[in-house]
Amino acid sequence: MPRTPEIVTIPCRADNYAFLVHDPASGHVVLIDAPEAAPITAELDARGWRLADILVTHHHDDHVAGLPGLRAGARVIGAAADAHRLPPLDLAVRPGDTIACGPFGVQVIGAPGHTLGHVAYHIPQAGAVFTGDSLMSLGCGRLFEGTAADMADTLARLAALPPETLVCSGHEYTLGNARFALDVDPDNVALKARAVRAQAQRDAGAPTVPVALSEELATNPFLRTDDARIRAALGLADAPPVAVLAELRARKDRF
Ligand code: ZN
Ligand code: FE
């Protein structure tokens, strides 16, 4: 009987998420991002798991601050392009690399836009992609370093993954993102249903991530820059997709 890897979502800090991926057969455990050590250590202890690999999406403090308390005995993996501003890496990776983390073949996907060195990690055996602050639930990260064109390319790469892939993003931003999405795409039935469900999840104290890529494709305006209704709402009916993305991001920044 095939045994499916488990994905555990761990709330950290005010609104961050870290994720554990556990292979039941080998006991191998991978952590994606380290916002703070205590809740991650507590989760590991409660399950009797030990970290083998730590994958870092980008250098911002709210994704790496927990590393000093977690890295003993584990391998820390991050982008070679950002090695100078990440905590010390045991393995520096580049977009396009596939690395072995125990039984997992982890695909490194370039995800610039929020930061220039940002990467996402796709673990096909877990059916999941870990997107940090690039593709987010009903949104995308702010453009602190890259351009709208960088983010458009990033989102296109992530959107091309199998639609059943679970998108594990780095923050609980769904409700705020839903308010903006509904402002530019008010007649989207799938979006309205998702916003209602997200509110119920938050009311119950549950995370709204991960979410299937197929659902993001139907509801996230930043993945829907070809949509005629969104384009009409922005007054950009005939603009190139990257111009639509740039306008969405600028409006979201002011929203
Ligand atoms: Zn960030
Ligand atoms: Fe962040």
The CATH number linked to 226 is 3.60.15.10
Whole-angstrom distance, CA of residue 66 vs CA of residue 37: 4
Can you give the pLDDT at residue 12?
A: 98
Q: Residue 145: nearest ligand to its CA? A: 1
1 in a structural domain = no
Q: How many residues does the chain have?
A: 255
Q: Residue 113: nearest ligand to its CA? A: 1
Q: What percent of the chain has pLDDT over 90?
A: 98
101 in a structural domain = yes
CA of 233 to the centre of ligand 2 (A): 29
Each as own residue / partner, the long-range contacts of residues 1-7 (CB below 8 Å, 24 or more positions apart, any chain) are 5/104, 5/123, 5/125, 5/126, 7/126, 7/128, 7/166, 7/168, 7/210
Q: Residue 115: nearest ligand to its CA? A: 1
CA of 57 to the centre of ligand 2 (A): 9
pLDDT band at residue 168 using 50, 70 and 90 as cut-offs: very high
Longest dimension (CA), the chain: 55
Q: Count up the domains in the chain and report the number.
A: 1
Alpha-carbon dihedral sign for residues 114, 121, 84, 81 = negative
48 in a structural domain = yes
Can you give the pLDDT at residue 189?
A: 98
Q: Residue 146: nearest ligand to its CA? A: 1
Tokens linked to 244? 């639509």
CA of 225 to the centre of ligand 2 (A): 24
Can you give the pLDDT at residue 143?
A: 98
Can you give the pLDDT at residue 4?
A: 87
Q: Residue 60: nearest ligand to its CA? A: 1
CA of 239 to the centre of ligand 2 (A): 30
Q: Does residue 3 have a pLDDT over 80?
A: no
Q: Does residue 1 have a pLDDT over 50?
A: no
Alpha-carbon distances, residue 176 vs 60, 111, 179, 183 (angstroms): 21, 22, 5, 11
Tokens linked to 37? 């050590």
204 in a structural domain = yes
246 in a structural domain = yes
Q: Residue 173: nearest ligand to its CA? A: 2
CA of 124 to the centre of ligand 2 (A): 24
CA of 159 to the centre of ligand 1 (A): 20
Half-sphere exposure of 228 toward its Cβ, with a 13 Å CA cutoff?
A: 0
Q: How many helical (H) and strand (E) elements, i.e. helices and strands, does the chain have? A: 9, 14
Q: Left, alpha or beta for 191 (phi > 0: left; psi -120 to 50: alpha)?
A: alpha
CA of 133 to the centre of ligand 1 (A): 5
Render pLDDT for 56-115 as a digit per residue (tens, 0 to 9): 999 999 999 999 999 999 999 999 999 999 999 999 999 999 999 999 999 999 999 999
Q: Does residue 179 have a pLDDT over 80?
A: yes
Q: Residue 114: nearest ligand to its CA? A: 1
Neighbouring CB atoms inside 10 A of 196's CB total: 11
215 in a structural domain = yes
Q: What percent of the chain has pLDDT over 70?
A: 99
Domain residues for the domain of 242 are 6-254
| CA terminus-to-terminus distance, the chain | 49
Can you give the pLDDT at residue 114?
A: 98
CA of 145 to the centre of ligand 1 (A): 11
Mean pLDDT of the chain: 97
What mean pLDDT comes out for the span 189-195? Answer: 98
